[in-house]
Chains A and B, each alone.
Chain A
Amino acid sequence: MQKSKGKIFWIVLGVLVLAIAVWGEFRAGSIPQVAARVKDLDLPNLGVYRLQTWIAALSCIAVYSFLFKENPFYRFFEHALLGCATGYSCAVVMRQNLYSQWLVPIKKAIVNVAQNGWTSSDAATIALILAGVIGLLWYFQYSKKYFWVSRIAMCISLGAGAGLAFKDTFNQLIPQITGTFKNVCPSEYVMPGATLMERFYMGCENFIFVIGTVSVLMYFFFAFGNKNPIVKGSSKIGRWYLMIALGAFFGNTFMSRLSALIERVHFLMAEWLLISQM
């Protein structure tokens, strides 16, 4: 009984949406925003745009249908997405990186050397052939015997990453540490033109900030026991700060996801069903 009721609900809803969509299709030609959109997207005609919109709408619905359960409709679009995304990435890397940033300059340099003799910049460009050789080593991971050769390429990347990490980390870290030494009692030279009250507020704000950073650091400090009342107290305050930060993080996360949902709903309503403002 309950199941059939549910089925009826979904059928009615589906028919309703379909009816609105078909009704929208009849109106599409006469809506100026639709024509403007076709122009913006550089599409040849309205038909292509509507077909694109329909498929896009179907793929959205396919994804949302996963909320109930996995189904063939979803699986079809899932594989199509995977194919498109992989294909696009590879095409870009092939054409925009390997072809035009690597092959073409090397070719140019070789021609240059043949015509005008060696220069240091040409030599450096031609030496990039070595990068291709190392890059090809990645594919040894398909061989069981020579698997370790593929690790050469990986070790070069890892070594570079490890060496560069020092620069990245210290350049980020030092301003963070110096920035924590805040003035909790700003004088009028530090804040020229500010009233005593404004300076007091600033001092309080800075004090709250410094206490927060120090206490959270204390909370994460496992080197000594937390029997000392100062350590105990400050790590408790640290927990409060962390909770507040996590709460803010949750709020921001939710809003981010929500924006994506609203963007999709906007697409479905405004571009597909044509019942809200584009």
Chain B
Amino acid sequence: MSKRNILKIIAFVVGLYFFLEYILPEKVGGEFDSYEVGCPVTVERSGKKLQFYVGNYYKGRGIIGRMVKSSGKWVKDAKPCLQRSLFLKFDQYGLTEPDAVSAPEGLTLLYLGQNEKEPVLCYAVSEDDGQTFRKKGPVVISTNEVFKTFENAPNGQIPDRIKSFAADFRNGLWEVYLFTMTYRVWRAEGPDLKHLSLEAAPIVSSTLTEKSPNSFDVYSEGGQPVLVYVMDREILEFRRSGNDWESKSWKAPKGNGTNDTVYAGGRMDVGEGVLYLGTKKMQKGRPIDSPYETQLASVALRDRGDGTPLAPEMSVYKKVGASPRPTYLSYGTEWAGKFLTVVGSFAIFIAMINLMLFHGKKIYQSALNYNAPAGEDKLPGGGAPMRNFIKNAGYSAVFLIFLAVMIVCAWKGQTDEAKGTVWKTSFDFLFNAIQLPMGSAVFSMITFYMISAAYRSFKVRSLEAGFLMAAAIVCMVGQMPIGELLASLVPESWKLLQLPWLSGKLLSVLNAAAYRAVLIGTLIGSVAISLRIWLGLDNSVYSSVD
């Protein structure tokens, strides 16, 4: 086997490892709720008690699962009932805080869809009691003037956002209560979830509690809404009395978990009282993945009347699902990272050695030719030997001296512990006096050349050249304060004449569109090149071998 083939095989095997590492899953098996369970909500439908909860396969990526109560036990469905979508933007990153409502058109599940922007309130409808859902997209609430900050905050103002919500369907009308970041509660109602209208003023305009509650829910009692706030383990119920809200609170007993949480949506009427479902967090021996394991548990029970806790209850009814097993490849990835880092570190010295060899040779040759008569040696110039020597080898000596000094100073003076020592001071000195100013000056020198180039060659000789020049000018001036100053002379509504707006659109629409096409091309090209190298078709890599 030739050397070239050995090299090709090495490259192929290493490439294959990383290729497999990409296409094969990092972990295999496991259930959708293997990482975390939480946010239980209960609902009754067709005489069955149903429960929906959020399960995470991976931190922060919620999927909704369903459980049915049969013969006193919660039984989990094998498959999740609602998953995040890959392509729809509003719940790409997962689903959180579900609320289930039994409506005539079907069992409706409302949830906050997580995406790269702000969470969006969405809903899905099921016709088979929650076994499967059909997504219906975001809930549409007509915004009034006061509420406008929700969608687009004016400059400099922190936008108010939905933090939590509760929904209900009564007398043919949908009611949605929105709890915002500023602790206000708004009410919206309408015939369906695509046509809700918001009330002019919030029903709770100031903070009822000092801290923001962990979860929030609303249920109705005699036609009046009762707001349920849960703070850690304290459950507060607010009923309207006149203009104020009257509170009733009690504490759920502490269980034996590290961090028990009650969920307002997990409110259930049971025979003897009201039961709240929540989660229990237990320390688990997985220090890197997750220090805790969460479990769903019935957390607190109280009587229907004055709110006294009944026999404290804390029973786990759902643990996290079976976790996936890491593959051998994924164990290896971390090691491979370290391995390649070390191999890469050694390559960096090649540059130094090459430079040292080059300059060292120069000095050596100049020293050899020190006394050679002018003209006979191969070196240029003539004159006194010393002058000749400095001219030919002086700069190389400068390089080697600065290299040696910098290596020593930087080695000894790079940590904070070296503060005050001569090493640190001289390291800082060399960096701030030579490396920093020169690096910057070299980078900036081209400005002058660009000015003369622009002056001479930026001429409108054709339509395309005109586009080029106009784009350059708009982009330069529009991003600068001078553009802002010019824009202030133009009325606000004349957007096309406002350079900052124009340059923003130029960059984010026209430039982005063109560059995206270039990008798609280059990315496909890079796959092709990688394939060539990986499969050993590219012989240029192995040139000068054999």
Contacts and interface: CB of A to CB of B under 8 A. Distances in A.
A212 to B, nearest CB: 3
A258 B519 CA distance: 27
Contact of B511 (A63, A85, A163, A245): A245
B520 A177 contact: yes
Contacts of B520: 173, 176-177, 213, 217
23 contacts: A48-B425, A80-B398, A81-B438, A83-B406, A84-B403, A89-B348, A93-B345, A93-B349, A128-B338, A131-B338, A132-B342, A151-B545, A153-B347, A155-B541, A159-B14, A160-B336, A163-B22, A189-B137, A193-B142, A205-B509, A213-B517, A244-B506, A260-B440
B12 A208 contact: no
Nearest to B147: A193
Contacts of A158: 11, 533, 541
B7 A155 contact: yes
A200 interface: no
A190 B120 CA distance: 11
A90 B16 contact: no
A3 interface: no
B10 A57 contact: no
Nearest to A124: B335
A242 interface: yes
Given A76-B398, A254-B450, A255-B476, A52 B406 contact: no
B517 A216 contact: yes
B25 to A, nearest CB: 13
A163 B510 contact: no
Interface stretch (B53-61, B159-167, B221-229, B466-474): B466-474
B330 to A, nearest CB: 13
A178 B92 CA distance: 13
Interface stretch (B30-38, B254-262, B523-531): B523-531
Interface in A193-242: 193, 205, 208-217, 219-220, 238-242
A138 B411 contact: no
B470 A247 contact: yes
Given A84-B435, A159-B12, A264-B444, A220 B475 contact: no
A132 B349 CA distance: 13
Interface string A15-59: 000000000000000000000000001111000100111011101
Contacts of B529: 165
Interface residues of A, number: 127
B402 interface: yes
Interface of A: 41-44, 48, 51-53, 55-57, 59-60, 62-64, 66-67, 75-98, 101-102, 124, 127-128, 130-132, 134-136, 138-139, 141-142, 147-148, 151-167, 169-170, 172-173, 176-180, 188-189, 192-193, 205, 208-217, 219-220, 238-255, 257-258, 260-261, 263-264, 267
B479 interface: yes
B448 interface: yes
B513 A241 contact: yes
A245 B510 contact: yes
A114 to B, nearest CB: 22
Secondary structure class of chain A's binding surface, majority of residues: helix
Contacts of B411: 91, 94-95
A209 B472 contact: no
A250 B472 contact: yes
A164 B526 CA distance: 11
Given A94-B411, A97-B345, A254-B476, A86 B510 contact: no
Given A92-B414, A213-B513, A77 B443 contact: no
Nearest to A127: B335
A67 B429 contact: no
Instruction: Please provide the 5 A-B residue pairs with the shortest distance between their CB atoms, ordered closest to farther.
Output: A212-B513, A163-B18, A247-B471, A83-B402, A87-B406
B322 interface: no
B87 A178 contact: yes
A278 to B, nearest CB: 15
B342 A98 contact: yes
A86 B352 contact: yes
Contacts of B439: 81, 85
B1 interface: no
A151 B542 contact: yes
Given A93-B349, A159-B10, A254 B447 contact: yes
Contact of A81 (B425, B434, B469): B434
B190 interface: no
A162 B343 contact: no
A85 B470 CA distance: 40
Contact of B340 (A160, A208, A242): A160
